[in-house]
Amino acid sequence: MTLLHESDYGTPAAVCDETVRVQVDGIDVTVPKGTSVMRAAAEAGLSVPKLCATDSLQPFGSCRLCLVEIDGRKGTPASCTTPCEPGMVVRTQTPKVERLRRNVMELYISDHPLDCLTCPANGDCELQDMAGVVGLREVRYGYEGANHLDAPTDASNPYFSFDESKCIVCSRCVRACDEIQGTLALTIVGRGFESKVSPGGRSFFDSECVSCGACVQACPTATLEEKSVIELGMPTRTVETTCAYCGVGCSFKAELRGDELVRMVPSKSGGANEGHSCVKGRFAWGYATHSDRVLSPLVRDSITEPWREVSWEEAIAFAARRLKEIQAAHGTDSIGGITSSRCTNEEVFVVQKMVRAAFGNNNVDTCARVCHSPTGYGLKTTFGTSAGTQDFKSVAASDVIVVIGANPTDAHPVFGSRMKRRLRQGARLIVIDPRRIDLVRSPHITADYHLQLQPGTNVAVVNAISHVIAEEGLIDDDFVADRCDPILYAEWREFIARPENSPEALEAITGVPAADIRAAARLYADGPNSAIYYGLGVTEHSQGSTMVMAMANLAMATGNIGREGVGVNPLRGQNNVQGSCDMGSFPHEFSGYRHVSDDVVREQFETLWGAELRGDPGMRIPNMFDAAVTGEFKALFVQGEDVAQSDPNTHHVQAALAAMELVIVQDLFLNETARYAHVFLPGTSFLEKDGTFTNAERRINRVRPVMASKTGKQEWEVTCDLSTALGYPMHYDSASQIMDEIATLTPTFAGVSFHLLDEVGSVQWPCNADHPLGTPVMHVDRFVRGQGAFQVTPYVPTEERSTRRYPLLLTTGRVLSQYNVGAQTRRTANVEWFEEDVLDIHEADAEARGIADGTWVTLASRVGSTVMRARICDRVPPGVVYTTFHFPSSGANVVTTEYSDWATNCPEYKVTAVEVSPTLRGPGEQTVGVAAGSSVAG
């Protein structure tokens, strides 16, 4: 494929049912009312010259290049800011406008370096293109006068540079930062000739810029340019693919020069991101070719021995032999596998198939266990399916947005920008979080209510909100009567009205003033379109599942389900959390969330797979670890998950791994888990994969190989080889064939194929005969389960309490520039923004302990301790501390405990009783158990 250029209509599409008919250069064109003349011309196939206009930004009218003549009107209006009116006759090419455009361009070029041949944007520069389009042949003004040609270049950002000498001050970058990203980091300083773009008078690196790349994308010249383009040259071909970071699932154009990836550019046609990106997806992909990658299989008999590099055949034979020996000695159930939310649907599907058909048990689980398993439980119980209700675009129709236990601007930044856009338009905001996340107060956004609850009291707060709604007659009786199970509703109605659920009764527990809860409840109920967005601050609690059901109750009670602008929406942590769950990764379910005990369903799988399958649930990840410690579980296949770093209570996980006779790790890097592994099967990065990811809005996106697999194999091929070696032959000619099998066996995927995805871009499941192009909004006329099922959701305090010895409560999360355990982002320049985990602590707590800002502290819980630097801040209230888990050197999960969600065993990462004390020790001396060596012998 050649370099893909997406069309630019100059101004955004107008959304209006009413149309107007105009004539442009003799061509009749009908457009929605509100469409600009520039866009109408573009839709008629005509191109009006432009510099400050682009269809991702509102029209600005500053460059004066898009002037046109309109019959009956004086002057030459800018076509970008002039809306079409019925019967308008427009002429875009007249001697008058052509002369004006040349004059305008002449002025631009008189203050622009004439270095096109050596400019990195040569061939991809709108200024250069427009100079050609307007027929510029001379510059009469000379270059001796005042100019900006010696203006400095700001190269402080690791990924792009700002060459001020090339800037035409069109403000596209400033507007992109305002309108698309919503950070407002850029501005125009100075007046007249002194006007210039500035990141707030500081360098880009030191500014509020979040490096989303929107400004670089918007720049029509080489002023803002990717350093990779400057270094490698302009790309020549495009491969369309999907980002492998968070659950937003942004579509990207991977742009290459030959076989070398030069840059990742967000796709305007991407359903999830519509042309936007964040610092990770846009720039932090260098890990894929990092020298730390292991590209050959490794084996060793014991974890105290060095690795031996072996052939694929030897590694597979070694792994298969050991697995069979272990099952022969300890029983069929003594082995299992973990699938990865980082991998494609196809890669995940074959792993769970291998476990069920070749291992002969259902001991398969997924890393979603430790993040969004309560979402699956809660939404399936109440609505009938384990997925969010809306597409991302839906937020544009929300009047009230409730963000609970999520930090979208850091963890789901592209959706966060979409949400901020709606908030700047006037949507109201309720934030329920112990921390003051950025959304609470950011440029042009202030939360109406920040319910700063005590960690662990989510259910109490949402019950209290529902109590107010019931007590004050705010329930949508018609919706409930039409759509919900009346018996379950009556049970819930009686429960929620109880005095113990009132905000006043719960105030002492939650720490949230009752008046605020009452006001927030009224706001949510009034909507009219109220939407809930939530993250791991909801699920990673001992009542994670209860909380998901409590939110579903709230949405049903107020009729906020089944249309644009409403819903209950999980913000999934990893790129394919939704997909890995859909693909049958849980030990009790086949793909499509059908229980393994369902004889009819199981028979379908048995018939197609030609294997007898078990009908009883297998072990969850924590069950496997517990059973390993007691000697009942002996071998584990781990696909793309670093359980030794990401799972709670590191000591316990390490003990479990160390107790196993065989650990097989399939990954890019020798991660922390690999220290305990006997077989290392090198994996592929997203740039090498062929398959699909499913994002948080159920959107199935294609992942296309940008480069050949560096290991020589696709990951699904390795799984097939292992399964075959175990005696259950598995073979596919392509990833497409695996999707065909998924579609055959999974009703919600019945209409999905690579062919369809290549044709339409993406679809949101359910995609089947009833919904051939997918389903953006679910539960429109009826719930998937039929009637909505209200659930009684009593608040049960966590057993994890602050004590005299551990008086503070620790909660954990992410920062924008890093991602999960940091395996990828730590291997990129993103470390320049965040190079170590730090502990956020309130000034009062710090002062009481003699802790100064930036000094080392010991963070200790009843299960372990670690060391990191303290950062004194007021984002956390007194009594609460916060850290991230991006770096193994600090190992935040050394202190998190074994407590988990009652229904799903999702760990209670968000509440750990801790103490913090000053220390002189640096990092790397935390009391983690001694890990085995991981040196590689050739």
Of residues 317-336, which lie at the interface with another protein (CB under 8 A)?
333
Indicate whether 870 belongs to the interface with another protein (CB under 8 A). Answer: no
Indicate whether 617 belongs to the interface with another protein (CB under 8 A). Answer: yes
Closest to another protein by CB, 480 vs 628, is 628
Stretch that binds another protein, among 168-176, 624-632, 672-680, 683-691 (CB under 8 A): 624-632
Binding mask 333-362 for another protein (x = CB under 8 A): x-----------------------------
User: Prior bond to 766 cis, omega within 30?
Assistant: yes
Indicate whether 903 belongs to the interface with another protein (CB under 8 A). Answer: yes
Stretch that binds another protein, among 67-75, 560-568, 819-827, 903-911 (CB under 8 A): 903-911
User: 46 vs 7, 25, 27, 39, 652, CA distance in Å?
Assistant: 12, 8, 9, 9, 66
Indicate whether 248 belongs to the interface with another protein (CB under 8 A). Answer: no
228, two tokens: 């990779």
Instruction: Give per-residue burial for 756-786: e unless 16+ CB within 10 Å, then b.
Output: bbeeebbbbbbbbeebeebbbbbbeeebbee
CB-based contact 758:702 (threshold 8 Å) = yes
Stretch that binds another protein, among 90-98, 445-453, 613-621, 773-781 (CB under 8 A): 613-621
User: 765 vs 384, 566, 592, 752, CA distance in Å?
Assistant: 14, 18, 10, 8
Closest to another protein by CB, 63 vs 464, is 464
Q: Which of 543, 574, 714, 820 binds another protein (CB under 8 A)?
A: 543
d(CA 118, CA 422): 42
Shortest spacing between CB 901 and another protein, in angstroms: 9
908, two tokens: 């209670």
Indicate whether 218 belongs to the interface with another protein (CB under 8 A). Answer: no
Stretch that binds another protein, among 475-483, 776-784, 814-822, 902-910 (CB under 8 A): 902-910
DSSP-assigned letter for residue 666: E
Q: How many helices and strands, by DSSP H and E, does the chain display?
A: 28, 38
Indicate whether 499 belongs to the interface with another protein (CB under 8 A). Answer: no
Of residues 92-151, which lie at the interface with another protein (CB under 8 A)?
none
Closest to another protein by CB, 634 vs 842, is 634
Q: Which of 902, 918, 927, 936 binds another protein (CB under 8 A)?
A: 902
**CA-based nearest residue to 242, from 615, 853, 761, 832:** 761
Closest to another protein by CB, 19 vs 597, is 597
List residues bridging with 731 in a β-sheet.
Answer: none
d(CA 125, CA 330): 66
Closest to another protein by CB, 279 vs 628, is 628
Indicate whether 370 belongs to the interface with another protein (CB under 8 A). Answer: no
Q: Could you please report the per-residue DSSP string of 814-882?
A: --SS--TT-TTGGGSGGGGT--S-EEEE-HHHHHHHTPPTT-EEEEE-SS-EEEEEEEE-SSSPTTEEE
Indicate whether 43 belongs to the interface with another protein (CB under 8 A). Answer: no
Q: Collect all residues with Cβ–Cβ distance below 8 Å to 450 and sequence separation of at least 6.
A: 430, 431, 433, 436, 440
Indicate whether 542 belongs to the interface with another protein (CB under 8 A). Answer: yes
**CA-based nearest residue to 673, from 681, 715, 370:** 681
Shortest spacing between CB 903 and another protein, in angstroms: 7
What is residue 57's three-state secondary structure? coil
Indicate whether 302 belongs to the interface with another protein (CB under 8 A). Answer: no
Stretch that binds another protein, among 321-329, 520-528, 763-771, 899-907 (CB under 8 A): 899-907
Which stretches within 170-251 are classed as H helix?
172-175, 214-218, 227-232
Question: Phi, psi (5° rounding) for residue 500?
Answer: -70, -15
Closest to another protein by CB, 390 vs 542, is 542
Shortest spacing between CB 924 and another protein, in angstroms: 31
Of residues 790-809, which lie at the interface with another protein (CB under 8 A)?
792-794, 796
Indicate whether 627 belongs to the interface with another protein (CB under 8 A). Answer: yes
Q: Which of 526, 616, 853, 874 binds another protein (CB under 8 A)?
A: 616
d(CA 299, CA 319): 9
Closest to another protein by CB, 258 vs 615, is 615
Strand 335-339 and strand 635-639: the pairing is parallel
Indicate whether 490 belongs to the interface with another protein (CB under 8 A). Answer: no
Stretch that binds another protein, among 146-154, 286-294, 617-625, 858-866 (CB under 8 A): 617-625
Q: Which stretches of the chain bind another protein, using CB under 8 A?
A: 333, 491, 495, 542-543, 546, 587-588, 595, 597, 616-620, 623, 626-627, 629-630, 632, 792-794, 796, 898, 902-905
